[in-house]
Structure 1
Amino acid sequence: MLVAAAVLGFAAVGPMGVAGPAHAGALGSTAIGTFTYEVRGAAVKVPVGCFLTHRIDGSGKRVSGQLAGVDCVGAAATFSRFCNWRIDFAYADTNGRAYRTARGATHAECDGAPLRRAGARTLPAYGKACAKLFVNGRLRATQCHYITK
């Protein structure tokens, strides 16, 4: 129930959905596994309870906006900090060949709820659009939506 509340809270940030043939509507989350990383000589642990949530809105190959961020529940909501983080939006065709990555800015500050928005774009091919969370230079989670005819 806590996860559902976190996802619904993320959904309330703004209207979005997945690019589909005539309508859109996708919101997905993937669990971020627990991990430890080092910042300025200190170990930082991210416990179980955090999720990468990705929303995409549009119609067909026209994406009108995307939103991706980290939601944490329970103790993770209190104790999780993400330092040196960035969120990329990556695109691949139906054969899985990546054709574009919109790299996000790396945020040196530590944040409990990383968030990135992206504006409109028209994709050259059907396939998938993914949000990728990097922390301290390492890929920690990926969440994708398939965009088909």
Structure 2
Amino acid sequence: MFTHIVRGDGRRITYQNAGVDCAFVAALSSGFCNWRIDFAYADTDNRTYRTSRGRTHTECKIDPMRNNSPQTLPRYGKACAHLYVNGVRRVSQCHHVTK
């Protein structure tokens, strides 16, 4: 299961984290190899205006995870997290950022 947590108020994000719940992938022996997690932000017209690209991790891991720094977004819209494995987006989760 891919999780994405966003905490804050309005456009101010005080905490953001995304990752894979290892309980879901415990049955996988090798986990995820060559993975990265990106955070992307879109406006209310669904236009992405900022992406924080994570680094690609070459090791295999059953519970990849990434935090992002606190920030204030310039627009309302949505905050998303994307998990890439071998350069291919495998899963995404988004939260609406509203007043």
Question: Under TM normalisation by the shorter chain, which class is it?
Answer: over 0.9
Taking structure 1 as the reference length, the TM-score comes to 0.63
Equivalent residue for 1:99, pick from 49, 62, 85: 49
Equivalent residue for 1:79, pick from 28, 38, 42: 28
Amino acid at match of 1:73: A
Q: What is the correspondence of 1:101-116 to structure 2 with a 5 Å cutoff?
A: 101-116=51-66
* 2:44 equivalent to 1:119: no
Q: What is the correspondence of 1:1-149 to structure 2 with a 5 Å cutoff?
A: 51-73=1-23, 76-80=25-29, 81-149=31-99
Specify the alignment match of 1:12 in structure 2. none
Aligned residues: 98
Identity of aligned residues (%): 58
Any idea what the Cα deviations from partners look like across 1:24-62, whole Å, max 9, x if unmatched?
xxxxxxxxxxxxxxxxxxxxxxxxxxx110001111101
Distance 1:103 1:79 in 2: 26
Distance 1:103 1:65 in 2: 17
* Other structure's SS at 2:27 match: helix
* Other structure's SS at 2:54 match: coil
Please state how far the C-alpha of 1:102 moved relative to its aligned partner.
0.3
**TM-align CA RMSD:** 1.2
Distance 1:100 1:108 in 2: 25
- Structure 2 spans left out of the alignment, 5+ residues: none
- Structure 1 spans left out of the alignment, 5+ residues: 1-50
Q: Where is the helix percentage greater, Structure 1 or Structure 2?
A: 1
Please state how far the C-alpha of 1:72 moved relative to its aligned partner.
4.0
Taking structure 2 as the reference length, the TM-score comes to 0.94
Amino acid at match of 1:121: Q
Larger radius of gyration: 1
Distance 2:81 2:39 in 1: 5
